[in-house]
Amino acid sequence: MQIWNTLKTGALLAVLTALFVVIGGALGGQTGMIIAFVFAIAMNMGAWWFSDSLAIRMSGAREVSPQEAPELHQMVEVLSARANLPKPRVYLIDSETPNAFATGRSPEKGAVAVTTGIARILSRDELAGVIAHELAHIKHRDTLISSVAASIAGAVSMLADMAMWGMIFGGLGGSDEEEDGGIAGMIGGILTIILAPIAAMLIQMAISRSREYAADAGGARILGDALPLASALEKLEWAAGRVPMQARPATAHMYIVNPLSGEGLANLFRTHPVTAERIARLRAIRSEVTLSTGD
Summarize pLDDT for 228-269 with one digit per residue, the tens. 999 999 999 999 888 878 777 767 778 999 887 654 444 545
Q: What is the pTM for the complete model shown? A: 0.74
Q: Is the pLDDT of residue 183 over 50?
A: yes
- Report pLDDT for 270: 63
Mean pLDDT computed over 96-125? 93
Rounded mean pLDDT, 108-131: 96
Closest-CA residue to 85 (of 222, 212, 227): 222
DSSP string, 19-83: HHHHHHHHHHHHHHHHHHHHHHHHHHHHHHHHHHHHHHHHHTEEE--TTTSHHHHHHHHHHHHHT
Computed over every residue of the chain, the mean pLDDT equals: 79
Determine the Cα–Cα distance for residues 16 and 98; give it in Å rounded to an integer.
32
The pLDDT of residue 173 is 43
134 is catalytic: yes
Q: Please tell me which residue in 96, 108, 134, 177 is annotated as part of the active site.
A: 134
Domains of the chain in start order, with CATH, are 2-57+144-205 (no CATH), 60-140+209-293 (3.30.2010.10)
Per-residue model confidence as pLDDT tens digits over 8-35: 666 766 776 777 777 677 666 778 778 8
When mean pLDDT is compared across 54-63, 182-191, 275-284, the lowest value belongs to: 182-191
